[in-house]
Structure 1
Amino acid sequence: ASGRISTAISSFAALRLLVDFLRTDRGPFIADAVCDYLGLALGPAAEQSKVSLQLRQAAGGDALVVKILDLMQRNIEEPLLIRDIAQQAGVSPRKLERRFQQKARTSPLTAYRKLRIEKARQLLLHTTLPLAEIVAATGFGSRSNLTEWFKREYKTSPQAFRKQYYADRSPAGSPA
Structure 2
Amino acid sequence: MERSNFGVKHMAFYVLDQFSLRALSAALTVLRLANETSETIVYEWRVVSQTGGSVVSACGLELAADVSIDEERELLLTERRPFMAVICGGHEMPAAARGLTAWVRECALHRICIGTLAGGAFIPAAAGLHRNKRWAVHWEHFPAFNESFPEITATQSLYEIDGDLFSCAGGDASFDMFLRFVERDVGLAGIDRICEKAMVDRMRPPGERQRLPLQTRFGVAHPAVVKVIEQMEANLVQPLRLDKLAPASGLSRRQIERLFFQQLGRTPARYYLELRLEKGELLIKHSALPIIDVAMACGFVSGSHFTKSYRSHYGATPQQHRMAALAERSRPAARRVIRRSRTAA
**Does the alignment reach a TM-score above 0.5?**
yes
The structural deviation recorded for 1:88 is: 2.8
- Structure 2 partner of 1:71: 231
Asked whether the equivalents of residues 246 and 253 of structure 2 are also in contact (C-alpha less than 8 Å), the reply is yes
Measured after TM superposition, the shift of residue 67 of structure 1 is 1.2
Hey, what's the Cα distance between the residues in 2 that align with 1:164 and 1:107? 31
Aligned partner letter, 1:129? L
In structure 1, give the amino acid aligned to 2:218.
R
User: More helix by proportion, 1 or 2?
Assistant: 1
Q: CA deviation at 1:113?
A: 0.4
1:163 corresponds to 2:315: no
Task: Name the TM-score, length of structure 1 as normaliser.
Answer: 0.69
Residues 40-51 of structure 1: pairs in structure 2 closer than 5 A: 45=209
Segments of 5+ residues of structure 2 without an aligned counterpart are 1-143, 155-159, 171-206, 333-345
Residue pair 1:55, 1:104 contacting (<8 A) in 2 also: no
Q: CA separation of 1:53/1:136 partners in 2, compared to 1, >3 Å: closer, same or farther? A: farther
How far off its partner does 1:169 sit?
2.7
Q: CA deviation at 1:45?
A: 4.0
Change (3 A) 1:91 1:16: farther
- Aligned counterparts of 1:152 and 1:94: Cα–Cα separation in 2: 27
Secondary structure in 2 aligned to 1:117?
helix
User: How far is 1:65 from its partner?
Assistant: 1.3
What is the CA distance between 1:30 and its match in structure 2? 3.6
Return the match for 1:103 from 241, 253, 263. Answer: 263
Measure how far apart 1:164 and its partner are: 1.6
The 1:15/1:160 distance shift into structure 2, 3 A limit, reads: same
Contact 1:147-1:157 at 8 Å conserved across structures: yes
Q: How many pairs does the alignment contain?
A: 147
Alpha-carbon RMSD: 3.3
Segments of 5+ residues of structure 1 without an aligned counterpart are 1-9, 21-27
Q: Which amino acid aligns with 1:153?
A: H
Q: Which amino acid aligns with 2:285?
A: L
Contact 1:56–1:65, Cα closer than 8 Å, also in 2: no
Report the AA paired with residue 148 of structure 1.
Answer: K
Cα contact 1:78–1:139 (8 A) shared by 2: yes
**TM superposition shift of 1:114:** 0.5
Instruction: Determine the C-alpha separation between the residues in 2 that align with 1:111 and 1:100.
Output: 9
**Residue from 133, 144, 153 that aligns with 1:19:** 153
Deviations 1:120-159 (A, max 9, x none): 0011111111112211111012101110111011111101
Q: Which has the higher strand share?
A: 2
Contact 2:146 2:152 in 1 (8 A): no
For the structure 1 residues 122 and 18, does the alpha-carbon distance in structure 2 shift closer, same or farther, using more than 3 Å as the test? same
Q: Percent identity?
A: 28
CA distance in 1, matches of 2:319, 2:312: 14
Match of 1:88 in 2: 248
Aligned partners of 1:152 and 1:53: how far apart in 2? 27
SS in 1 for 2:149: helix
Equivalent runs, 1:91-170 vs 2, <5 Å: 91-170=251-330
Structure 1 pair 141–29 and aligned structure 2 pair: CA distance change class (3 A): farther
Letter in 2 for 1:66: V
Give the TM-score, by structure 2 length: 0.37
Cα 1:118–1:171, aligned 2, differ >3 Å: closer, same or farther? same
CA distance in 2, matches of 1:125, 1:53: 27
Name the aligned partner's letter for residue 262 of structure 2: Q
Tell whether the 8 Å contact from 2:224 to 2:251 is kept in structure 1 after alignment: no
Match of 2:262, SS state, is helix
Mapped to 2, the partners of 1:120 and 1:53 lie a distance apart of 23
1:65 and 1:155, CA in 2 relative to 1: closer, same or farther beyond 3 A? same
In the TM superposition, what whole-angstrom CA distance separates every residue of 1:4-43 from its partner, at most 9, and x where no partner exists? xxxxxx99357355418xxxxxxx8549x58x38x9xxx8
